[in-house]
Amino acid sequence: MLTWIILAILAVNAATFVSFWRDKVYAINGTRRIPEADLLKLALIGGTPGAFLARHMFRHKTRKEPFSTYLQLIAVIQLGGLIGFWLI
């Protein structure tokens, strides 16, 4: 069971990372972009580490507001949930 959870988290983070990369490429090429809501949904379902890594590596969506605030809020909520789960 734990193996499946780890694999699912890795898959979501990989998908999030690739989505940020693709959105960056789309932005450079001036083509249709991935909606910010979709990027935030990927972070919400567990792709937050992948989102932060992609933002750092590709310098993408680092100054975009309110996107940055929402992503940080998602990270804080997830971290609080993990700490709460660990303490129980």
Query: Which structural domain, as residue segments, surrounds residue 47?
Result: 2-87
- Residue 20 near residue 58, CB atoms below 8 Å: yes
Closest alpha carbon to 8 in 44, 35, 47, 38? 47
Closest alpha carbon to 36 in 65, 57, 8, 9? 65
pLDDT in tens, 70-83: 999 999 999 999 99
Query: What pLDDT score was predicted for residue 1?
Result: 83
Query: What pLDDT score was predicted for residue 68?
Result: 97
The list of the chain residues with pLDDT below 70 reads: none
What is the model's pTM?
0.92
Give Cα 35 distance to the centre of its chain.
13
Number of domains in the chain: 1
Place of tokens 């983070």: 13
Query: What pLDDT score was predicted for residue 88?
Result: 82
Q: How far is CA 81 from CA 10, 14, 53, 75, in A?
A: 18, 22, 21, 10
Query: What pLDDT score was predicted for residue 59?
Result: 95
Query: What pLDDT score was predicted for residue 31?
Result: 98
**What is the Cα gyration radius of the chain?**
14
